[in-house]
Amino acid sequence: MTAALLHKENMNVIAVDWSKGADYINYFQAAANTRVVGAVIAKMMEGLHSTAHAAYSNMHVVGHSLGAHIGGYVGERIHGLGRITGLDPAGPCFEEQDVQVRLDPNDANYVDVIHTDGDNLLALGFFLHTSKVCYKDLGCFANDNPYSNSFGALPSSPDDMQIKMNLYTRDNIVEPTLILYNETSSILDSHYDGNKPTKIVIHGYMSDATEDWVLNISNLYLKREDVNVIAVDWKSGANKIYPQAVANTRVVGAYVARLLKTLRDKFGANMEDVHIIGHSLGAQTGGYIGSLTPKLGRITGMDPAGPLFEKYDSIVRLDPGDATFVDVIHTDALPFEEAGFGTRLPAGHIDFYPNGGGHQPGCPPPYKTGVSEMFTLKFNSKEYLFAAICMKESMRYPTELAAFMAVACSHQRSYYYFAESLTTEKCKFTSYPCASYAAYRAGNCTSCGDGPCPIMGADADQYKARRGDFYLTTNSQNPYCNADYGKCSPNCQTGCSKLGHCIGGCNPGWKGKQCDQNCDEYSYGVNCGKMCGHCKNDEQCDIITGSCPNGCVAGWTGHNCKEACPPFTYGDKCRETCGHCRLGNACNVVTGVCSQGCNPGWSGERCDQACPVGTYGRDCVMTCGRCKNNKTCDSVTGECLNLCTEGWMGLKCDQHCPPGFFGRNCTAQCGKCASGTCDPSSGKCQSGCKAGWTGPTCASRCSNGWFGPNCKIKCGQCKNLTFCDAEKGICASGCQKGWKGLMCNRSCKNGYYGNSCSFKCGKCVKDQICNKSTGFCPNGCALGFKGLKCLEVSDEAIEERGMMSLAVPVLVSCIVLLVILFSMTTVYFLCIRPRHGRLFSKFYRLSTRSLQIPEIHIYEEVLSGTWELNKYNLFLTNEKLGHGQFGMVKKGFVKKDRTHRIPVAVKSIKGSASEKDRNDFINELNILKKVGQHPNVVCLVGACHIQGTMYVAMEYCKNGDLRTYLRRLRKSKNNLYANAKVISPVQKSVLLKLSLDVASGLSHLAEKQIIHRDVAARNVLLDEHLIAKVADFGLSKHDDTYVKTSNTRVPVRWLAPESLFNALYTTQSDVWSFGVLLWEIATLGGTPYHGLDTQQMCNLIKQGFRMRRPRNCDPALYAMMLQCWYERPESRPCIKEIVSRLQRMLEDSQVYMNLDLDVNEGNQYAEIN
């Protein structure tokens, strides 16, 4: 870490070494040492601050485990310390202490902590450093599993613990004899007799063999019988920190086992006659002795120690396998967090639980504490450390001993009970088998079955046949056995003490310690502990049974009138049934009133009245809707059972028909009303019909020959008696002779006739007007002309020409002169202006006319006047731009003036086209008119009729369609084709600009309420400046929503789900298609859903599949694609929002698309349809 810090930056690094104070074997001493180390570091920092002017805010303490808490102690002394980093701060002895003891956020300006080993204290593994110690004759002792319960502490040596075996016999009751296992002479010189039973008494934690209870039990045994009593003294090993004392029990046990082996082998001792009596850790030591001594007779565990034993393997602790008979007295089996020192686990063949095995009567109440605070008790705001992992070797003050004794009271009771069992003749600690102490206290366990009840204490081995848990009670003080009965009151249940106090309580109807007092008013039962029920007239119940003499008040029932009426009943004897209360709640048991109101369909205080006709719902406050034939609705839900009156809808018939619908339940759709809405009842269009429709409901198409709103306008003179378009009145097949205009509603100007009025009348007599259809002169010809049309010269005129023969030479001269002038003009145009000559070879006129006929043009109403082209100003070339829906699309020019021509793309439809194609062509023309002018939409230039064929001229885009452009860009990122601009590889915003152009065009269409329905790269054109323009409105509709009803082929790979599966088109379905177009741009013309046929693609879209992000595509742009592909149309962003976002992305220099595609990436887009 030091090297890493120095590598990071130029700084001062100070590594603190306190290894001598951090000895891992004695963790708890190390915990105490942290304060001194912290003080030293703080002093050093103060020196740096005063002499080297080092700022405290620039100082950073990094500490691990105990070192982290050292950092906290430093922070306590150095105000304004910059930072402390705690690397898994140590938990034991710190976790639940005051913040002044441990690291906390107030110790520095900034404190950060890394936690990596936050297990429970009892599961700590980081203390354990596996090792072992060996002692002569006793063997080796390791601290690994299963003996890992001492936090890694290894047992001390027998010499360090000064283990002594004090022998007492009837020959030396007062002064013990010291015997040693390895010195036979010490045993020979003693009064030990191998033929007598041997009692071995082992003290526990923080104790020694001179304790009163040890001497008392030894003396009592010697008075009772002739035995050997060995008091084991290991006080130097028991007065250590608790985990060390736990580890020491193994060496003590091995030492005693070695002595027993010597007594057996050399002095004839029978192990079946050996009885070990151990308290606390001494009981666990007895278990270890038993595991080393085969056929050991008996072990009595007096409240075996629980901490660091309970959760470990049975080989570590006392269990029934350690001796022929093991009996255990539990007196402090509380949870460890409540300072319970004894084990809660059954540990013997018989486990006695006096007073439940936990808190004993007469002892202070249990002390509540946390796990890591369990060894640090607090009394009167002072700390007293005892028997703890955070403690010195002995108590320091008398007050500490008092605190220890207060908590250890229940723990000590076990040897007091055992000692009393050695002396009591009349009173026995009789116990009873029971499932729990609560069941025992309830009087459910008063028998031991066929056998005798075991007696707790010295004589427990007389009941070796018994097994299990046994319960009993004791007095709160000496004598503890409570079976000494005195004179009892006849009202006592189970006898009384010698003071006359009833032990088991009073019979029903009596109370008091001696059960000599009658129950108070309104009480009854055992000890008068029960209260009377709800008796009628507030009468006293029977003091024994609690029954009410005259029954219960309303709302109550049962023998003692303590039971409220069952749910949904009320009144006297609960005979009445509740009404329909809200949410299934019960009514008032006395009155039956529903306090929270009624369920729908019911009313009244008790909710027992059905709703009146015409109402429904909760408390009947809702009024029925417009049900058919004025029928009433369902009283609960309000639903109309017989459908709705015309013009209303919904289950409750309370909703007006939405705009566009009418009739019963609003299932009928309005016709083509001008306002979009009809009468909700009858369906009549009160505002009239849209163009092309008629009838009261506007559901009928115009009859042949009529068009416009309500079909009131008669068609013009369409060619071959065909009919005009019912909506606009356009004659798609052209006009009858003598008529002109798109609607063929204007007759030829006087002096003209024929198709499109393109022929001039002959010389009719008196300059009369010829027939505008046939051109015939109705009253003959003028002088010098003949024929029906008066176009032929008469014979008389020919004769007159002879008279003009003299004028021929003059005429010839004039002709020669004209030829010369024509030749000179030809040379000028072919040689001097060759580029003009080429135009004549490249273009041809769509039609010609006599120079004598003046140009005649009046704009059509259908084209709003500004869209009709003069047919003589339209020129068509042989250059094919593509195939449209209705035929070939060619390049052309529109003459602007004598010297300027505008390039255009020309679509046409022949007169022989089908009715459907003509209608679709006219629809596209109308859409183009509606679109108007926009820089990102291919706009209409004009349209005209020429000899029965309609031509539509549109804006010409020099660089072709976007898809071809992208695919060529894939192959070469420089020149795309001859006339294209060069795109530098660094101009990576070009593709975003193309996306923005298309979005802007679609936004313009959306504002015009036009649905494109075929948004794709192939339908986007690029002009000479590479500005993208939306084109091809062949599938477009001028409506907010369009449902496809024909069998028109549709672009399935670009369609939104609602369009693909339900034929429903909206501007939001165009947004979906725009998302696919973005994907095309990102892949430089890739085919969407490549590798999938149509059926596979449809199935995947139904399952929520979306195309993956193209390689090198910016995540922000792909996120926009995914939003465009939301399944719900309303969840997709509107096209205006997309325009704004693309503008921001284009402005952000960090957002770009990488054009440098991987060579192999093209394979995934190999299929180009």
Residue positions annotated with a catalytic role: 280, 303, 411
CA 480-482-485 angle, to 5 degrees, is: 145
* 325-336 as b/e: b if 16+ CB within 10 A: bbbbbbbbbbeb
- Cα–Cα separations (whole angstroms), residue 995 to 14, 461, 1135, 1156: 60, 96, 12, 19
- Identify whether the C-beta of residue 470 lies closer than 8 Å to the C-beta of residue 354: no
Q: Are strands 298-302 and 274-279 parallel, antiparallel or unpaired?
A: parallel
Tokens of 112: 């950060």
> Which long-range contacts link 601-604 to residues 24+ away (Cβ below 8 Å)?
601/634, 601/635, 601/636, 604/579
Residues 6+ apart with CB under 8 A from 726: 691, 692, 693, 701, 702, 706, 707, 711
Per DSSP, helices labelled H in 80-124 are: none
Cα–Cα distance measured from residue 946 to residue 462, given in angstroms and rounded to the nearest whole number:
131
Cα–Cα distance measured from residue 584 to residue 575, given in angstroms and rounded to the nearest whole number:
19
Q: Would you tell me the crossing angle of helices 1067-1082 and 1135-1147 to the nearest 10 degrees?
A: 30
* Longest alpha-carbon distance in the chain: 190
- Identify whether the C-beta of residue 366 lies closer than 8 Å to the C-beta of residue 339: yes
- With H, G, I as helix, E, B as strand and everything else as coil, classify residue 363: coil
Q: Where are the strands (E) in 973-1116, listed by range?
A: 1010-1011, 1020-1022, 1028-1030, 1037-1038, 1041-1043, 1064-1066
- Identify whether the C-beta of residue 202 lies closer than 8 Å to the C-beta of residue 277: yes
Query: If residue 1060 lies in a helix (H) or strand (E), which one and from where to where?
Result: helix 1057-1062
Cα–Cα distance measured from residue 740 to residue 71, given in angstroms and rounded to the nearest whole number:
102
Amino acid letter at 1063?
A
- With H, G, I as helix, E, B as strand and everything else as coil, classify residue 98: coil
Q: Which residues pair with 62 in a beta bridge?
A: 85
Cα–Cα distance measured from residue 48 to residue 643, given in angstroms and rounded to the nearest whole number:
92
What is the phi/psi pair of residue 905, to 5°? -105, 130
- Identify whether the C-beta of residue 1072 lies closer than 8 Å to the C-beta of residue 1028: no
CA dihedral 298, 301, 302, 306 (to 10 degrees): 180
Cα–Cα distance measured from residue 659 to residue 648, given in angstroms and rounded to the nearest whole number:
12
- Is 907 marked as a binding-site residue? yes
Cα–Cα distance measured from residue 606 to residue 594, given in angstroms and rounded to the nearest whole number:
5
Query: If residue 264 lies in a helix (H) or strand (E), which one and from where to where?
Result: helix 242-267
* 1019-1029 as b/e: b if 16+ CB within 10 A: bbbbeeebbbb
Tokens of 1054: 């670009």
Question: Is residue 146 reached through a cis peptide bond, with omega within 30 degrees of 0 on the bond before it?
Answer: yes
What is the phi/psi pair of residue 818, to 5°? -65, -40
State the DSSP string of 843-908. Answer: EEES----TTSPP-----TTTTTTSBPPGGGEEEEEEEEEE-SSSEEEEEEEE-SSS-EEEEEEEE
- Residues of each annotated binding site: 907
- Residues of each annotated binding site for ATP: 907
